[in-house]
Amino acid sequence: MDASMLTATIAFPAESTEPPNFDRGRQLLKKIEASSLFTFDEPEVELEELLPDLDGEFDLVDENGEVLIEYARRAGLVIIDSLEVALDSRETTFLTVANYRIYISGGLSSGGNPTVATEAIWNAYKLPESVLVGMGFIPDYELPLSRANGSGDHTPLTDTDVVDAIALGLGTSPERPGTDTLKWIAEAIGKVRDEPGNAEPVEYLKHWSERYGFDPLSSKFLSAYIDEEIGKAGEEESKD
């Protein structure tokens, strides 16, 4: 019988001075109210595997087929605990690529599960993305490392951060002195970002946040480049 290598990976900023914050992940789980934020493929089967103490008499989903939040949170805690053990085990190694620390585990597909650590890393992606990011992990590490995809303020700036800052600085400025000079900058940025100047400042901020699923006002670095009045308007709109 042929066997293939199965691997699992998860990314973390390579230059972070702090390790993954698993305790923060556990705290964030308590605040998750919607079980739809978890990505279970077969909820009842997966929950029974993650929570073997269930005796089969419990209803794990509601009448709409949604996982009951109590069990989703309990499964989430098991996933975080297993991930913490896995990343510190001999079954996992890591390599550094483009400012990412990529944790890797794997094994042959024959003869049962590749490794316990492999499953633990696979299961991590069942957690709500906000919990993964809160622990310091980067769900989509195909993108350049930046504050918008989870590297946070504790890592050095990347070129992507700088482009983000320029785009936000131009895009949220109500008046742009030196228009001729700024125009070509905006057009160049428009090749990789929403072009500054093509929307009203508050709308530009809103579109930017929606496109990247990240509020730049929450970043100390990025928020410093957003016009103060536009930033206040953006905060008020988000509260509404």
pLDDT tens for each residue of 207-225:
888 888 888 988 888 899 8
pLDDT of residue 68: 85
Q: What is the band of 113 on the pLDDT scale with cuts at 50, 70, 90?
A: low
Tokens for 231?
């930033």
Per DSSP, 8 falls in state: E
Q: From CA 49, how far away is CA 192, in angstroms rounded?
A: 44
DSSP 196-231: TTSS-HHHHHHHHHHHHT--GGG-HHHHTTS-HHHH
pLDDT of residue 51: 87
3-state secondary structure of 141: coil
Weakest mean pLDDT among 45-59, 71-85, 126-140: 45-59
Q: Which residue would you say has higher pLDDT here, 139 or 131? A: 131
Residues in contact with 15: Cβ distance below 8 Å, sequence separation at least 6, in sequence order? 99, 155, 156
pLDDT of residue 54: 76
Write down the H helix ranges in 56-200: 69-87, 116-124, 129-134, 159-171, 179-189
Record the pTM. Answer: 0.62
Say yes or no to pLDDT of 121 above 90: yes
Residues in contact with 90: Cβ distance below 8 Å, sequence separation at least 6, in sequence order? none
Q: What is the band of 21 on the pLDDT scale with cuts at 50, 70, 90?
A: very high
Weakest mean pLDDT among 48-62, 94-108, 172-186, 197-211: 172-186
In the block, tokens 């042959």 appear at: 108
Q: What is the band of 240 on the pLDDT scale with cuts at 50, 70, 90?
A: low
Summary mean pLDDT of the chain:
82
Torsion angles phi and psi, residue 3, rounded to 5: -125, 145
In the block, tokens 């428009």 appear at: 190
Torsion angles phi and psi, residue 9, rounded to 5: -135, 155
Q: What is the band of 32 on the pLDDT scale with cuts at 50, 70, 90?
A: very high
pLDDT of residue 53: 83
* Residue positions counted in the chain: 240
